[in-house]
Amino acid sequence: MSFFNKMLSKIGVGSASVETELFNEIFTPGELIRGKVTVKGGSVEQNIDSIYFKIKSTYEDEIEIENGQNEDEINITRNALIGNFQISEPFVIKPDQTISFDLEFPLPIFTPVTAGKTKTWVETGLDIKMAADPTDKDYIHVQPHPLVDAVIGSAMDIGLEVYKVVCEPAPRNMNMMLPFVQEFALKPVEGHLTSRLEEIELIFRPLSNGFMVFMEIDRKSKGLSGRLSKMIGTDETMVRFPVNYENMDSLTLTLNNLIEQHC
């Protein structure tokens, strides 16, 4: 075994490679991700400590940069770790050898929905000491959790429509599990709320038996007092309510009553 080949494998040249095959590309938070991982040996024998999986998503952020004597804000996309799993005990992969493993792990309940600019993927890697870790990336499509879908469906039942979905930095007072939140913005397109409601924004925080829903209600400005309220931010109200499988049937009434109270 060439010393030169050993040195090359430490920087990834001729090293073992990894490839993941997912049995599905569309998932719901909480669902099991199943697939197969294939490790192929390189030009030298290598010790693999483990095979790890990272679920990552993107979110949008703003940073300030100096522009002469002024400061400008620019939008950037950040990556966040959603979940971290691993399989296999340490093993040895010989040159050109192929070893396959079955994989199965849950998609975390707080994984964001694939909408807008948000992307989510499974990153597979080989943990090799004193060497560059080979990786593989597989994008997945994440659908809303049934309870999240039920809340949005109830909002649509009272005449609202989703017009924007964005992931952005999490407010500190919400105690979220991730550095970002996914916000669903809806506006009235028909019905009794069109004259009074500007929009609502929904954020979901997982609970042991469902979700806590944070709903910001933005009233329409009317007259001088309405415009003043808009200027100083008093035209918005934040309310919260839990959602679970036991209260799903009353969601439409709950949403309508809460909006009516603060509009």
- Domain co-membership, 230 together with 205: yes
From residue 100, how far is each of 32, 37, 93, 140, 160 by CA, in Å?
19, 5, 11, 21, 49
Residue type at position 78: R
From residue 79, how far is each of 93, 110, 170 by CA, in Å?
31, 15, 14
180-188 and 50-67 as β-strands: parallel, antiparallel, unpaired? unpaired
Tens-digit pLDDT profile for residues 224-257: 444 545 544 556 899 999 999 999 999 999 999 9
- Domain co-membership, 91 together with 152: no
- Domain co-membership, 89 together with 124: yes
| Phi and psi, residue 74, nearest 5° | -125, 150
Tens-digit pLDDT profile for residues 45-57: 888 888 999 999 9
Compute the 3-state secondary structure of the chain and give helix, strand, coil in percent, each to the nearest 5.
20, 50, 30
- Domain co-membership, 66 together with 180: no
What CATH number does the domain containing 68 carry? 2.60.40.640
The boundaries of the domain holding residue 231 are 146-261
Tens-digit pLDDT profile for residues 136-180: 899 999 999 999 999 999 999 999 999 999 999 998 888 888 999
In whole angstroms, what is the distance from residue 193 CA to residue 52 CA?
49
- Domain co-membership, 28 together with 137: yes
Helices (H) and strands (E) in the chain, counts: 4, 15
- Domain co-membership, 180 together with 66: no
- Domain co-membership, 156 together with 257: yes
In whole angstroms, what is the distance from residue 242 CA to residue 255 CA?
11
Count of structural domains, the chain: 2
What is the pLDDT, as a whole number, of residue 2?
43
What is the helix (H) or strand (E) element at residue 158, kind and residue range? none
- Asked whether the whole model's pTM tops 0.75, one would answer yes
Q: How many CB atoms lie within 10 A of CB 13?
A: 12
CB 185 within 8 A of CB 163: yes
Nearest 5°: the CA angle 10, 13, 18 is 90
